[in-house]
Amino acid sequence: DGTCNLCRIDATNGKLILKLKNANNYFITHPKYIDAHTAVAAVRNRQGNMMLMKINLQTGSMNDLTVFSYNVIGYPFVKGDTIYFNIMNENADKVFAYTMTNKKLYRVTQNSNGMYAPSVNDKGDLVVSAFNAQGYRIAKITAGQQEWALNKFRLAASDRYFTDSMSTFAATGAIYTLNDSNFEQRPTGSIKNEVTRYRKALHLFNFHSWRPVIDDPEFGYTLYSDNVLSSVNSNITYTYNRTDKSHTIGFAGAYAGWFPVLGVSAEASFNRNIDTAVGKTVSYNAAKARAGLYIPLRFVGGLTNKFLNVGGGYNLEQYYYRGVGKNIFNNKAVQYMDAFLSFSNVSQQARQHINPRWAQALSFNYRKAFGDFSRSHKFVANSAFYFPGLLVNHSLVLNVAYQYRDSFPDLFSKIFSYSRGYEALSTRRMYKLGANYHFPIVYPDWGFANILYFQRIRGNAFFDYTGAKARVNNNLTEIRNRSTGAEIYFDTKVWNALPVSFGVRFSHLLDTDLLHPSVKNRWEIIIPVGFIPN
């Protein structure tokens, strides 16, 4: 109901014993017992000012211990007749002390960085949580090192030991100087400025952040933009496809004023390849435009987070063939539709867990061409299932993928996750089974120069099995590409804040790579994943 009260609860059964009255409706924080009948707390009034208050636990009456100010107060600690607490003073959170016997206020520390949660032992030594360039640490200030400076706070709220930091800012309190003469009288009431309709087309592009694209086999970076109303979302993206070694630059925008969401996009791709299904590939560039609709849904409730996204669109793509392809293919435009559905069901994840203990992720994608390429189509399904491992922080991940397409040259990009270590094929029918076992190796908990912090080193043992049908030397052949190996990941934080994971992969090929028959073992650098936290 908008009120704030100090309550006493029975710790054995949780029942309310006492609810004290709060006539001024102060917001009460960090209450601490002084004795069985009184407590001390930091309180805030409706104007946002704070003070230290003594509260009678029987009657609810309150006595001021300091004056109201905009300086933030908190973490009171009672030792004998002295109350230690935090307060913002001269641009730093410092420790002050109030003696109840003689009702005097002292500044105990003169620190440049914040000191919080003071506590005092029987020797008078002060222990605080102190902030520095490396983060927070526990610091002890002996009784002889403390600088107790008397503050005559009853004389003026602007005393230099108790300066109201907010009062030093320009225009502080300007709103309190307004009166009726500052407002224009209208039939609808008093207004300061005329109310006008906000132009929805104003500032449609407002780029505010960037992040990597991690969607194996595609990796890249994206710049994000949102207008003030959050009704127009747009982004500019660069991606690299590790499977077909292509590069793409694109723009995408979405209008959320309707439902389903309307989306448009345009992109240019370079160095893409066509698999001719006879052991040859043709290189080309492409330009693409798309318009579509999609319905993003999030299901709230239960023990897991569930997401469903379904949609489709119309695509127009122009190909520009390179090399010998110019003599084989015409630079015709390709028109096709695409439809997709993705679903994920993810349990809550503890900080030390590498992956969620229980999760399922499914995605389905279908593309169908029109016109001169009407016989071209491709269906790809990918899935991942997460299970707990043998130990508490271990994780087992099973992957299943399936692809079905026409037997003509592949016009569509490769989104089938192939067995690791092989040069990926794109045949008429393919399926993949994969198993991954993730486990922590060591927690270095070490960093240097506040630049890079090593939080964890973890490993992953994997096995991939891909089965495919392809035409080799004009004969339809069953292909089996199996690989096994291990990955080592380094979970770090750049500038002690931004999570970055990178690693190394070793793959041992159990079968022959058709495109690189002599390769049996392969080392790879794993591109950073998890670059931006959820």
Q: For residue 514, what pLDDT is reported?
A: 86
SS3 helix, strand, coil % of the chain, rounded to 5?
5, 55, 40
Q: How far apart are CA 438 and CA 394, in angstroms?
A: 6
Q: For residue 59, what pLDDT is reported?
A: 86
Q: For residue 531, what pLDDT is reported?
A: 45
Residue 165 backbone phi and psi in degrees, to 5: -60, -35
Residue 384 backbone phi and psi in degrees, to 5: -140, 135
Query: In Å, how far are 55, 68, 118, 415 from 98, measured between CA atoms?
Result: 15, 15, 13, 67
What does the domain layout of the chain look like in residue ranges?
Answer: 7-168, 418-534
N-terminal to C-terminal alpha carbon distance within the chain: 33
Predicted structure pTM score: 0.61
Q: Residue 476: count other Cβ atoms within 10 Å of its Cβ.
A: 11
The predicted-structure confidence for 466-517, as pLDDT tens digits, reads as follows: 999 877 677 778 899 999 999 999 999 888 888 888 899 999 999 999 888 9
CA torsion, points 510, 511, 514, 515, in degrees to nearest 10?
10
- Look at residues 143, 144, 94 and name the one whose alpha carbon lies nearest to residue 116: 94
**Exposure string (b/e) for 132-152, b if CB count within 10 Å is 16 or more?**
eeeeeeeeebeeeebeeeebe
Q: How far apart are CA 234 and CA 254, in angstroms?
A: 6
Q: For residue 196, what pLDDT is reported?
A: 76
Q: For residue 439, what pLDDT is reported?
A: 97
Q: At a CB cut-off of 8 Å and minimum separation 6, what does 23 contact?
A: none
- Look at residues 225, 231, 329 and name the one whose alpha carbon lies nearest to residue 272: 329
To which residue do tokens 């070694």 refer? 245
Q: Is 358:347 a contact under the CB 8 Å cutoff?
A: yes
Q: For residue 91, what pLDDT is reported?
A: 80
Could you tell me the two tokens for 154? 């009853």
Query: pLDDT under 50 in the chain at which residues?
Result: 153-163, 529-534
CATH number of 7-168: 2.120.10.30
Query: Angle at CA 306, nearest 5°, toward 304 and 311?
Result: 175
Q: Residue 453: count other Cβ atoms within 10 Å of its Cβ.
A: 22
